[in-house]
Amino acid sequence: MRLGVLDIGSNTGHLLLVDARPGAAPLPASKYKRPLRLAEHLDDDGAVTKTGIDALTDFTAESLAVAEEKGCEEMVPFATSAVRDAVNCDDVLEHVAKRTGVEIGVLHGEDEARLTFLAVRRWFGWSAGRLTVFDIGGGSLEIAAGPDEHPDVALSEPLGAARLARRYFEKKVDEDKLRKIRRKLRAEIARDADRVLRGGTTHRAAATSKTFRSLARICGAAPSADGPLVPRTLAMADLQSWIPKLLQMSDSDLADLPGVSPSRTHQIVPGALVAEACMDIYDLDELEICPWALREGVILERIDRLGAADGT
């Protein structure tokens, strides 16, 4: 059957349609996306503004039309950090439901980490051993680890690249402010690191989603045009050599880098600082980049439930 996921992220709205059946990898059939930048469409009280609500409503209506046109039988809509943390979350979702008929669920941070972990586990398989997964989104950072399909530990921290860009990088930062930002990021990541580290040795460390893919591409990883099966990594040494350069670049210079879209240039530096902090706190020299992430995790869990219902 053709399944869809409607992912309302802090940066972008994504519709992914796949052909799915139990026992097989989901086969991408169609996709549609639009920059929403909900993490930046927040007022001083933390409410999504009218501009953000209208953008979300329009995108949801357009996605519904695309899904119907492409023969989607079932669509799973969910929102992540920007909507989840907004003080008017319920009002936003009620508005969208009234205008479009689509009832968007809120995916909590630990579930986001858990489902992303499921996708990465399925991609790398059991040979990965104890797996640790990092995902920098627009609004939050997810970390999950464990030896099985469901992680022993699933963490979500408010350290997404868009959130940090809005909080700290709307103006150029000097050395003193940069040092304070770095110290704060590391303290927040280190606060719960023992919950992951007490589980034992990580046999494979992986990263997923747009921010990590962009950083890996900047540091020399293969372009997306080479396909998902090409191995890609992000090395700590390469990242650390690039961060001073990124700090000096203008938005137009950043947009010229491979793997960086113009709408995300302001997120590259905060994303790089979070990635560096994660690798340092968890003592990782390298991260493997996984092409599957949260949307695939949602689809895989839905396929599993369909298979259980059918007895397959």
What CATH number is given to the structural domain containing 200?
3.30.420.150
Domain with residue 36: its CATH number is: 3.30.420.40
Structural domain count of the chain:
2
Clarify whether residues 177 and 285 are in a common domain. Answer: yes
How long, in residues, is the chain? 312
Q: Are residues 287 and 138 in the same domain?
A: yes
Q: Is 192 helix (H, G, I), strand (E, B) or coil?
A: coil
Q: How far is C-alpha 273 from the geometric centre of its chain's CA atoms? A: 16
Domain that holds residue 249: 123-294
Render each residue's pLDDT in the chain as its tens digit; 312 residues: 999 999 999 889 999 999 998 888 899 999 999 999 998 899 999 999 999 999 999 999 999 999 999 999 999 999 999 999 999 999 999 999 999 999 999 999 999 999 999 999 999 999 999 999 999 999 999 999 999 999 999 999 999 999 999 999 988 899 999 999 999 999 999 999 999 999 999 999 999 999 999 999 999 999 999 999 999 999 999 999 999 999 999 999 999 999 999 989 999 999 999 999 999 999 999 999 999 999 999 999 999 988 776 665
For residues 240 and 75, what is the distance between their CA atoms, to the nearest angstrom? 41
Same domain (yes/no): 169, 254: yes
Residues 162 and 260 in one domain: yes
Q: Are residues 82 and 166 in the same domain?
A: no
State whether 82 and 184 are in the same domain.
Answer: no
263 and 198 inside one domain: yes
Residue 303, domain member (yes or no): no
What is the pLDDT at residue 68? 96
**199 and 72 in a common domain:** no
C-alpha triplet 272, 275, 276: angle, nearest 5° = 85
57 and 162: one domain? no
Residue 81 shares a structural domain with residue 208: no
Which pLDDT does position 161 carry in this prediction?
Answer: 95
| Residue type (1 letter), 298 | V
Q: 89 φ, ψ to 5°?
A: -50, -50
Domain co-membership, 209 together with 290: yes
100 shares its domain with 129: no
Establish if 309 belongs to a structural domain.
no
